[in-house]
Amino acid sequence: DQQVKQNSPSLSVQEGRISILNCDYTNSMFDYFLWYKKYPAEGPTFLISISSIKDKNEDGRFTVFLNKSAKHLSLHIVPSQPGDSAVYFCAAINTNAGKSTFGDGTTLTVKP
């Protein structure tokens, strides 16, 4: 039973356009959500997060949206840059339990 799902294994966009990465979850106990970025041969690095009491969090070119009723979150990157090409992992936490559950990742390719 996969509690965090990223249904798109890959996404390709043109430089300067918007990238939208999606994530769905099933466990209603999750109350904190994070996105991580991973380059080849490196560990994932934290990108942006959102608490369940919010529906939007913005940090520069990156915005995360949360739709609690749909159990869905998305990461928007505007404008996309070639350096954004990486694998993006969605993660969810039940802050009472303390462990992060990850999706399978989406490979983003930004073409120059």
Partner 1 sequence: DAGVIQSPRHEVTEMGQEVTLRCKPISGHNSLFWYRQTMMRGLELLIYFNNNVPIDDSGMPEDRFSAKMPNASFSTLKIQPSEPRDSAVYFCASTLWGTSGSLGELFFGEGSRLTVL
Binding site for partner 1 (CB under 8 A): 32, 34, 36, 41-46, 49, 51, 89, 91, 93, 95, 98-105
The strand pairing partners of 12, in sequence order, are: 109
Min separation Cβ 10 and partner 1, Å: 13
**Integer angstrom CA distances of residue 112 from 2, 6, 84, 85:** 35, 25, 11, 11
- How far apart CA 87 and CA 108 sit, in angstroms, is 6
Query: Which of 14, 95, 7 shows the shortest CA–CA distance to 49?
Result: 95
Min separation Cβ 97 and partner 1, Å: 8
Q: Which is nearer to partner 1, 51 or 81 (CB)?
A: 51
Of the chain, the end-to-end C-alpha distance in Å amounts to 38
DSSP 8-state code for residue 17: S
Min separation Cβ 86 and partner 1, Å: 13
Min separation Cβ 14 and partner 1, Å: 27
Q: Which is nearer to partner 1, 15 or 57 (CB)?
A: 57
Q: Which is nearer to partner 1, 5 or 15 (CB)?
A: 5
Q: Which is nearer to partner 1, 50 or 80 (CB)?
A: 50
